[in-house]
Amino acid sequence: MATPRQYRNLPIEFKRSIPHPVEAFEIDPDFPYTFRPRLHEANQTIENASWECREDLKKADWKGALAVGCVNEISGNFGAATFPEGKLDRVIPMTYVSEYAFIHDEMVDEKDTPEEFEKAHQTMHSFIGKDHHDRSNSMIKNIQARMALQIYQGDHDGASQFFEVYRPFLEIKSPQRDSKSYKTLDDYLVWRFLDAGGWIFKEMLFYTADVNLNNDEISSLKPVILPVLQAMVLTNDYYSWDKEYKEYNRTNGSMPMVNAVWLLKHLHDVDNTKARGLLREKILDLEMQYCNIRDEYLRTQTTSPDTIRFFGLIELAVAGNRFWHATSKRYNSWAPTPVSKTKTKRSASQIEAIDFDGERDSKRSKIELDQIASNNDVSFAKTPESLEVKTPDTNGNFDSSSFSQNGADKIVLEPYKYISSLPASNSRNALLDALNCWYFVPHESLEIIRHVIGIIHNTSLILDDIEDNSPTRRGCPSAHEVFGISQAINSATYQYVKCLEFVMALSKESIHCFTHTLSQLHIGQSQDLHWTFHCKCPSLEEYFKQTEDKTGGLFRMAAGMMRAEATKNRDVDADILMRKLGKYYQLRDDYNDLISNTKEEDKNLDTVYNDLDQGSFTLPIIHALEKEAENGDAKLLNILRSRKLNERKMSSEMKKLAISEMENMGSFTYAKALLNDLHVDIEHELRMLEKRAESRENWILRLMLYRLKVT
């Protein structure tokens, strides 16, 4: 049995951890520990994060088994074992993420075909802020938003780096996951390191660690720590072999085997026991490689105390990771079954599963409908039976192509398809998922609303670009530049007709909400066009009202239609929140368009400050004009009028002068302060709605607000 003197840990100060007895982990004389593991002193608190994640997944009607995750009765929780010296407020959210990841990984591994594997793998995309049109449970997305937000709140820069590394991990394709396709263990390890999240673990360690290293120091450490991280990856293969081999046999080999034992077994033509022995030797060899490289690095480089501490932390992580793998119920049938030691807010038997794919309730009473109508700011119009449209797909699956006229609409759709293909954020889909955490709209109805909101948004972009005389959209030519103004207008108006056909498959309340809000969108746009054409500056109050009607209109349309189709919380009116959120989006765009994030000498002023080129009256411009008027000045107004003499474009020199004038008037400071106040107001409104809906936090909306905040 090894003694403490034989371990290769660098000596560091232990601030938050306690040691494991040697006899607890040194149980295999053929596989001694290179580093001695420790346990975070707050193991039980960290453990609670795992149980909370599991309870949240049950409430969200997780489709699949809740497999064993981080919890371990012997080594301690995965988070406490691998980050024993980590900051507690950072270890807790990472443990919640790890618990979810283990359960997600089990769900993915249970798939029987490559297609099912990739589809299941993609359900994590919303966690990294990527929209791939996933239509999974909104409550699951709410959990993913919680994970992302809490990581960001702990350390924004560290979280950004974590997500940057996480993205390639989710791009792994099933065909790559076949051990036998690799000719050597080293070749396999290059790919397996990415597949197992080797660099992700490094970022998790940095995130939880109490060290401060700059980018140059971090880069210099990568080749030093790579061998020991590779050892960690192979440690997973070593201890998960029995479990994965059993699963491989269950599926009759329909899914590729991803394990170094399998590779070594075939490369060397040996049995399972011998192959595991070869892998064990490789792990120990990699750990010793790290020790030698580390010692050489310390001997030849000038190192900071934080660098030395980081080496010590990664050594504790390697040891804790192995101890956890060796004793986890996840990989060892003999291990004790984890049991929660704390009482949760609600027992599993009390958790109500919610069916998101169920049929829409078509038997609402007149009293229920009248109640919904009375809670809205407008009355719902009655739709004649002759105008009612049945849902296109009677199987409960909305198909947006079901209204296609056998290809006759190919030409008219081209401008719309073009604008829809341009890069975009996933804010609309995220908003719909957030609202669905309150309203629980049946799947089919939600898909219709999602499609309609997307059409209205993209159609408005086509028309806005024409009306603003804007040649580009998201760095690409505008639709009217590609297809011509007439064809673009025709395509946009055609989409309005198609939208109404889609909406008529919904309730009468939704139809009225759609038509009423759509009219308000156009009224708001007419005011904007009027101010621009006549170079007439609105008051700030007039402008704020216009942004709520125009930009907030699309949000209000989504919320109103979802509320009309809701199966829960129909008394929760999100209209005020949507107005304020739309206002924030517009004012934020106003601010960002005129605040340069690049050095002036590196900037082509012909391609920036679009609002000045378009003659738009935006928040900083209106504020500056009001301040000038108070001072009896009209310089900025004359600058804005000058664009009409320059073919409706503003020269670079005039742009510089306009920006300077707004800076002198304190307009950017005013705009930023207003945005900060509005952000606080929106957060307050959100909390009020969360209470009214008797739900827990709406993490999707909270994450949206966090990402939108101007800093």
400-437 confidence digits (pLDDT tens): 544 455 578 899 999 999 999 998 777 889 999 999 99
502 bridge partner residues: none
In a domain, 596, yes or no: yes
**CA-derived radius of gyration, the chain:** 29
Q: Are residues 339 and 373 in the same domain?
A: no
Percentage of the chain with pLDDT > 90? 66
In a domain, 416, yes or no: no
Q: What is the pLDDT of residue 434?
A: 96
Domain count, the chain: 2
Q: Are residues 559 and 681 in the same domain?
A: yes
Contact status, residue 68 vs residue 40, Cβ threshold 8 Å: no
Out of 345, 380, 399, pick the residue that ends a domain: 345
Q: What is the pLDDT of residues 144-181, one digit of tens each?
A: 999 999 999 999 999 999 999 988 777 765 555 566 67
Contact status, residue 309 vs residue 294, Cβ threshold 8 Å: no
Contact status, residue 218 vs residue 311, Cβ threshold 8 Å: no
In a domain, 409, yes or no: no
Q: Are residues 533 and 599 in the same domain?
A: yes
In this model, does residue 606 exceed pLDDT 60? no
In this model, does residue 348 exceed pLDDT 50? no
Placement of tokens 């669905």 in the chain: 436
| 415: nearest Cα among 461, 382, 452, 370 | 461
Structure token pair of residue 664 = 């002198």
In this model, does residue 250 exceed pLDDT 50? yes
Q: What is the pLDDT of residues 25-47, one digit of tens each?
A: 999 999 999 999 999 999 999 99
Placement of tokens 């406490």 in the chain: 80
Q: Are residues 282 and 372 in the same domain?
A: no
Q: What is the pLDDT of residue 393?
A: 44
Split at pLDDT 50, 70, 90, the class of 131 is low
Structure token pair of residue 216 = 């140059």
Taking each continuous run of H as one helix and of E as one strand, the counts in the chain are: 28, 4
Structure token pair of residue 53 = 């994640």
3-state SS, residue 337? coil
Using CA atoms, how far apart are residues 200 and 193, in angstroms rounded to an integer? 10
pTM higher than the cut 0.95? no
- Best mean pLDDT range from 234-243, 463-472, 547-556: 234-243
19 bridge partner residues: 38
Residues 562-587 have a mean pLDDT of 96
Q: Are residues 602 and 679 in the same domain?
A: yes
Split at pLDDT 50, 70, 90, the class of 687 is very high
The one-letter code for the residue type at 130 is K
Q: What is the pLDDT of residue 86?
A: 98
In a domain, 415, yes or no: no
Contact status, residue 650 vs residue 643, Cβ threshold 8 Å: yes
Task: Compare 678 and 250 and report the one with higher pLDDT.
Answer: 678
The one-letter code for the residue type at 534 is H
Q: Are residues 292 and 378 in the same domain?
A: no
* Domain, as residue range, for 518: 366-390+427-708
Q: How many residues does the chain have?
A: 711
- Best mean pLDDT range from 68-82, 96-110, 641-655: 68-82
| Torsion angle defined by CA atoms of residues 331, 333, 335 and 341, in that order, rounded to the nearest 10 degrees | 90
In this model, does residue 129 exceed pLDDT 60? no
In a domain, 538, yes or no: yes
Q: Are residues 266 and 371 in the same domain?
A: no
Residue 510 belongs to a domain with what CATH number? 1.10.600.10
CA distance to 66, 635, 640, per residue, from 96 (Å): 14, 56, 53
In a domain, 419, yes or no: no
Residues 531-538 have a mean pLDDT of 92
Using CA atoms, how far apart are residues 148 and 160, in angstroms rounded to an integer? 10
In this model, does residue 621 exceed pLDDT 80? yes
69's CB contacts (< 8 A; 6+ apart) are: 50, 53, 54, 78, 98, 99, 100, 102, 103, 330
Biggest CA-to-CA distance, the chain: 91
Q: What is the pLDDT of residues 455-473, one digit of tens each?
A: 999 999 999 999 988 888 8
Q: Are residues 379 and 341 in the same domain?
A: no
Using CA atoms, how far apart are residues 367 and 365, in angstroms rounded to an integer? 5
Using CA atoms, how far apart are residues 491 and 411, in angstroms rounded to an integer? 8
Split at pLDDT 50, 70, 90, the class of 487 is very high
Q: What is the pLDDT of residues 296-341, one digit of tens each?
A: 999 999 999 999 999 999 999 999 999 999 999 999 999 999 988 7
Q: Are residues 263 and 213 in the same domain?
A: yes
Q: Are residues 330 and 432 in the same domain?
A: no
| 236: nearest Cα among 361, 378, 122, 105 | 105
In a domain, 658, yes or no: yes
In a domain, 108, yes or no: yes
Q: Are residues 113 and 160 in the same domain?
A: yes
Out of 290, 314, 345, pick the residue that ends a domain: 345
